[in-house]
A and B are shown apart, each in its own frame.
Chain A
């Protein structure tokens, strides 16, 4: 990742900042310029809910060169409680707990480092909610 790109998106990456259409109320992540439901350009910032369900998941062993030192990389297709969907890394993984439909919650973790002296990229990862 380009450090400047991380810097531009830092709020989105750490707060799950998306957008809501002022006209029809549709919600999106990542933020959009134009509402995909009604075409309105009047959008406002909105933090996404931090909980949802795991729809599907995978365990990646051949990532791009930027993530090679973090394998295996667990990724989830997540549906947040407002219906918005995203792909996110999974944290604190216990493989037996990864099941379609499992409740997950957002947390902020390290994604990667930009080399030995570069910045550290932090952002959202999801983990399975522990049953009380």
Chain B
């Protein structure tokens, strides 16, 4: 094999594209992918895509459409190009970017198109709830009627007791997300909410309320990863898993997957965590935000809510999170979310943030989770100056 090995490449984000998260009743899943991918392709200049990777969680269940890799290649008029779909529940998008990163890094591919897509609005709430619960055990989570929101509600209850934290302290996370979402052109909910609004919103699964739960929406986002030098380098792409079932873990409050993926990413990027200027976290629920930030060491155990209250995670704070609204306000089209995060990091690092620009951002990170920290994907990107 000697002599045949290709040299390991650096990986750059060449271009990005997305559509606002929302309700696209008139468009199919193929059209959503087409629109996001076209934006990335058009802004990439003269580029020959040699691999297509689609991140998606439940297109088969939700739209009766599988084989998304070949579908996208066909829709783009690129049939013949190698293409596949990657699934890791809500981390499908992040995992697709990870596979794209490895493709380029390996030296086997020069330009890889990664698209994350999810169509959540084609099915009713009862079936959507079922689709999301498929991230955990069919036999021991879904069978007893537990849904994804209820698992997070049980976790939040355990967190509040363990650290003696009031519900409304954790509710600062949706307030931060919505504040950023208000000025984010591609956010599903472009309006601010107050802590009072969150507290008064109807309970969905107490202590989780309507306004402390990420919404459902349709969406698609795309990036082209390239070995050719560009404005943003992907320094690290790392993933890890935790026990599939939240309550089969010794300590459900420890986000081991995020902890491991983040530690590997920091090492790979050869930076310290204080060099990170902003992070797009997986803020699906306040307790997930808190446990993620604690697992990565940005907040002490049980203190993330207090830090959120103090302004540390605001757009102008020490470590901005959810800079375009995050999962809560930008929206959470599950299998697309991880790609949205990377597109947003690209916007920040190329100063395309508009009113949401993190001033002087040089290094950004993303953290995308499938299940309740069952799969975690962490990316670290830097501006090439």
Residues of chain A at the chain B interface (Cβ within 8 Å):
1, 5-6, 9, 13, 28, 30, 36, 55-68, 70, 73, 75-77, 85-89, 100, 111-112, 121, 123-124
A121 to B142, CA, bound (A): 13
Task: Choose among A55, A59, A124 the residue that contacts B205 (Cβ–Cβ < 8 A).
Answer: A59
Q: Judge whether B126 and A75 touch: CB under 8 Å.
A: no
**Residue positions of B touching A, CB distance < 8 A:** 124-127, 129-130, 133, 137-147, 149-151, 153-158, 161, 203-208, 243, 246-248, 252
Nearest chain B CB to A93's CB is how many angstroms away? 13
Residues of A within 8 A of B252 (CB): 77, 85
- In the complex, which residue of chain A has the Cβ closest to the Cβ of B148? A64
> Do A70 and B145 contact each other (CB < 8 Å), given the known contacts A5-B138, A56-B154, A56-B157?
yes
A65 to B137, CA, bound (A): 17
**With known contacts A58-B154, A64-B127, A65-B129, A6–B247 Cβ distance under 8 A:** no
Instruction: Name 16 A/B residue pairs within 8 A (Cβ), A-sorted.
Output: A5-B138, A6-B143, A9-B143, A56-B156, A58-B157, A60-B150, A63-B147, A64-B142, A65-B129, A66-B130, A70-B145, A73-B145, A76-B154, A86-B247, A87-B246, A88-B144
Contact A58 B150 (CB under 8 A): yes
A30's contact among B126, B139, B206, by CB below 8 Å, is which? B139
Known contacts A57-B154, A58-B157, A73-B145: does B248 contact A65 (CB below 8 Å)? no
Nearest CB in chain A to that of B161: its residue: A100
Query: In the complex the two chains form, what is the Cα distance from A66 to B133 in whole Å?
Result: 12
Enumerate the 7 nearest inter-chain pairs by beta-carbon distance, A residue then B residue, closest first.
A56-B157, A65-B126, A64-B130, A58-B153, A77-B154, A64-B129, A67-B145
A75–B139 CB distance below 8 A? no
B157 contacts across to A, CB distance below 8 A: 55-58, 77, 100
A1's closest neighbor in chain B, by CB?
B143
Q: Considering the chains assembled together, what is the distance between the CA atoms of A89 and B150 in angstroms?
A: 11
Q: Tell whether, in the assembled complex, residue B130 and residue A75 are in contact, meaning their CB atoms are under 8 Å apart.
A: no
Rounded to whole Å, the gap between the CB of B226 and the closest CB of chain A is: 41
